[in-house]
Every structure is written in C-alpha cells, then in structure tokens.
C-alpha cells in the first residue's frame, strides 16, 4: 500500500471510517486503492454499487449489457425515470459520479462469457456477483475458483434471499480445511424453466436492497482484510418472516471445479448456455 495521502476533503467525507480503529486512515486508503467488479447493475447491483461507492472503493467495474426499463425502478435504486432506455452501465456511472468523485467507474456494456471473463476479472481485487441467471453464476464461480479471486454471491426469489462469500485467495495453500465453492452447493443448475424469474413471479422491491447491502459489507471486509466473512456459510433471509438463518457449507471432495479430481480446469471445459452442464464424459 502506498503512503497515506487522504486530503482534507477525504478526511471529512470518510471521517466516520477514519475514527474507527478497525478502519482508520490506513483502511480507508486501502479502500480507495481497492477495485471491485460488479456483475449486474440491477436489483442486487444497485445497492451494492451505491454503498461501495459511498465507502470510497476507488475503482468499480460494472458489467451489464441491458438497458433501464420502467419496471426496474421498483427495486433498481440507482436508476431513475429519466434513465429509461439508457444502458444501465451509463446510468450507474452517472449515479456514482454524483455520489463520490473519488470513485472511477469502468463501464463494460457486454454480457459475461467464457471468452471475456478472464480479461474482465483480471483487473479487479474482488468480484461481486449481482447477476440474475444461473449461467453467469456458474461461470463466475468457476473462473474465480481457478483464478483465486474472491467472490461475493447473492440471489433473490420473491421474498427470499441468499448470500455467501467464496474467498478463493488461499486455494491450494496448506490449510485445515478446503473452502467450498458454489458448485459444492449446486453441482449443476436446475433444468431450464423449473425456476421462474422475477418477471414471472414478482419480487419484493426492498428485498434486493437487503441482500445487496450484505454483499457490499462482505466486499468491504475483504478489501480491509478485517472481520469474519460468510465463507463456509450460506445466509438465508426471509423478508416475510423477517428471519435470518445461517447454514454451514462444506467442501465437496467430488466438486467438479474445486474437488480432488476436478472435471473443470478451464471455463471452456463446461457449458454455460442454459443448464451449466459439466463436461461430457
């Protein structure tokens, strides 16, 4: 980390961080020098981008190939009515520019694919998965495992959310236990059509705000290297019952990407089109 150089404006902006022993000026400098790739600028990405920018994470990459629709505005809080029809990456970048001039936004108006994932992820310290489809979730998981990149996962359905963290930085090191990955939980995606999307079933507008904020919290802790993350645990949130439950996630020695004899050694080994299938036998 470079020499501390918070200017008076930054000392004022981040004063509530600076006075905390767990953050301090050194931690704030670490955030300002940190970088996060947010995949998806929708329901989960909106609060995550909002709070990562407010916290002073110095460089945010935003991946999204969609445009703002009016039906998005019930939950995608960084976009406004005037943004309808605009690319979400443009709207998100404008929001961040108004919120915090310390933050540089790098716009990636494209869909994540096996061909571009390595180039996109390589430039960032942490990846935050705010996607809304299984193909992207599996692709990000597999690449982040193989590249040793920390990954924050979040997903929502109607009134329910789930969050976990996969800190892949220590994979391969001699540790007491091997950390799990997303495929340890779900080796393959459900069959197409078995899990309806929010356009079909709806989603409580405030739900992604809670889940996305927890993801942002996890990312800030990863950048600060402070606190205990959700690695090895899956947090389940029920907004209707207002309950949180945390369940343990165990590493699967037969996992196709992080197991003892992995079937996936490159993201080009698996299909990410519909069912995120494993390589053919």
Residue 15 lies in a domain: yes
pLDDT at 41 over 50: yes
pLDDT at 190: 77
Residue 34 lies in a domain: yes
Q: Which domain holds residue 178?
A: 8-269
- CATH of residue 245: 3.40.50.720
Residue 50 is given by DSSP the state H
Q: Which two tokens stand for residue 261?
A: 């004899």
Average pLDDT over residues 66-90: 97
Average pLDDT over residues 238-265: 95
d(CA 25, CA 248): 35
In this structure, are residues 241 and 144 in contact, taking their beta carbons and an 8 Å threshold?
A: no
Residue 274 lies in a domain: no
d(CA 69, CA 75): 11
Residue 206 lies in a domain: yes
Please state the pTM of the whole predicted model: 0.93
pLDDT at 281: 38
Give 26's pLDDT tier (boundaries 50, 70, 90). very high
pLDDT at 276 over 60: no
Helix (H, G, I), strand (E, B) or coil at 69: coil
Read off the pLDDT of residues 166-212 as tens digits, 9 standing for 90 and up.
Answer: 999 988 665 667 899 999 998 888 777 666 666 778 899 999 999 99
Read off the pLDDT of residues 103-143 as tens digits, 9 standing for 90 and up.
Answer: 999 999 999 999 999 999 999 999 999 999 999 999 999 99
Nearest to 103 by CA among 60, 47, 40: 60
Helix (H, G, I), strand (E, B) or coil at 110: coil
Q: Which two tokens stand for residue 200?
A: 């079909």
pLDDT at 1: 46
Least confident span in 60-74, 139-153, 260-274: 260-274
The continuous run of DSSP H or E covering 100 comes out as none
Residue 157 lies in a domain: yes
pLDDT at 194: 64
* Domain total in the chain: 1
The CA radius of gyration of the chain, in Å to the nearest whole number, is 18
Nearest to 247 by CA among 185, 157, 176, 194: 185
Residue 3 lies in a domain: no
% of the chain with per-residue pLDDT over 90: 84
d(CA 247, CA 152): 16
Residue 275 lies in a domain: no
Catalytic residues: 198
Average pLDDT over residues 222-251: 97
pLDDT at 44 over 70: yes
The Cα diameter of the chain in Å comes to: 61
Residue 281 lies in a domain: no
Give 280's pLDDT tier (boundaries 50, 70, 90). very low
pLDDT at 4: 67
Residue 203 is given by DSSP the state B
Nearest to 240 by CA among 160, 180, 183: 160
pLDDT at 5: 84
Q: Which two tokens stand for residue 156?
A: 């929502």
Give 277's pLDDT tier (boundaries 50, 70, 90). low
Q: Which two tokens stand for residue 152?
A: 């924050």
pLDDT at 2: 47
| Mean pLDDT of the residues in the chain | 92
Length of the chain: 281
Torsion of CA 257, 260, 265, 267, to 10 degrees: 0
């Amino acid at each position: 980390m470079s020499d501390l150089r918070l200017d008076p404006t930054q000392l004022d902006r981040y004063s509530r961080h600076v006075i905390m022993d767990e953050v301090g000026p050194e931690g704030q400098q670490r955030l300002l020098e940190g970088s996060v790739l947010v995949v998806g600028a929708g329901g989960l990405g909106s609060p995550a981008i909002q709070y990562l920018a407010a916290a002073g994470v110095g460089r945010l990459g935003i991946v999204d190939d969609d445009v703002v629709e009016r039906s998005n505005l019930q939950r995608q809080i960084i976009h406004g009515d005037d943004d309808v029809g605009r690319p979400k990456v443009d709207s998100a970048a404008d929001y961040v520019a108004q919120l915090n001039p310390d933050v540089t936004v790098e716009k990636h108006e494209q869909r994540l694919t096996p061909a571009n994932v390595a180039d996109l992820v390589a430039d960032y310290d942490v990846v935050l998965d705010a996607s809304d489809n299984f193909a992207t979730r599996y692709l990000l998981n597999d690449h982040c495992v193989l590249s040793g990149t920390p990954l924050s996962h979040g997903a929502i359905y109607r009134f329910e959310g789930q969050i976990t963290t996969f800190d892949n930085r220590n994979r391969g090191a001699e540790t007491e236990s091997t950390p799990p990955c997303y495929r340890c939980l779900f080796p393959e995606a459900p069959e197409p059509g078995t899990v309806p999307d929010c356009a079909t079933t709806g989603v409580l507008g405030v739900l992604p705000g809670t889940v996305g904020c927890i993801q942002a919290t996890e990312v800030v802790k990863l950048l600060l290297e402070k606190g205990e993350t959700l690695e090895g645990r899956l947090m389940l949130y029920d907004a209707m019952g207002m309950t949180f439950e945390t369940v343990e996630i165990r590493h699967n020695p037969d996992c196709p990407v992080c197991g003892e004899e992995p079937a996936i050694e490159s993201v080009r080994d698996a299909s990410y089109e519909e069912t995120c299938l494993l390589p053919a036998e």
